[in-house]
Structures are given as C-alpha cells and as structure tokens.
Amino acid sequence: KQEVTQIPAALSVPEGENLVLNCSFTDSAIYNLQWFRQDPGKGLTSLLLIQSSQREQTSGRLNASLDKSSGRSTLYIAASQPGDSATYLCAVRVISSGSARQLTFGSGTQLTVLP
C-alpha cells in the first residue's frame, strides 16, 4: 500500500527566503506526482504535475523535482511571499494492474511566510 509522507509538517519563514518542501513515497511504481496548494477553507489548486518519466517541472517561482527510484520529490519555492502562505500537499498516482487512477495524498506542509 502506497504511503506518502511530507516533512516538515509546518514551516515558518521570513519573506524573500527560498525554501524546500519534501515529499516521500513508499512505492516507486508511480504514474505521476502532483503538488497542490490548499488555502484555509478552500479547495485544492494544482501547482505542478510531474510524470514518472520526468525529473522536474517549473512554473514561475516553483520548481518540483522527482527522484522516483528513491521515492522522493521536492517543491522549491523561490523568493517566498506572504501570499504563498498555505498548505502544500503532495499526491501520487500509482501504477496498478487495475489501472486505478486515484491519488494518494501526504498530510501536507503548512507554510507561513512572514512579512
């Protein structure tokens, strides 16, 4: 059974810092990995999706990397801003004989960027 872990659970940084959020998964047979952002009381916003064949994806100040063999992904946020404050969730879709497409989520990292 796939398990996804995110470290740290919470992170507080001053504005302008670069930061890294970590995600690890136990089953390396994944189809893809998605990073989401969730604001309090809101839904999930998809930030980046990395296919299993890819090493990284970039969008603006965000860069996500994937090391499938070691079961790890990182989300790098450059020049953090108070508006980046949110919970960041990592989710993987496994490859299975039944072609299951659902995501398995980590428990998230709650990020606070202080002005």
Residue numbers at the binding site for another protein (CB under 8 A): 31-32, 34, 36, 42-46, 49, 51, 87, 89, 91, 93, 98, 100-105, 107-108
Handedness of CA 11, 89, 35, 26 (dihedral sign): positive
SS (H, E, C) 27-67: CCCEEEEEEEEECCCCCEEEEEEEECCCCEEEECCEEEEEE
Total residue length of the chain: 115
Q: Are 22 and 107 in contact (CB under 8 A)?
A: no
CB of 79 to another protein, least distance (A): 26
Name residue, tokens 């603006």.
60
Which of 79/100 has CB closer to another protein?
100
Q: How many Å apart are CA 76 and CA 62, to the nearest integer?
A: 6
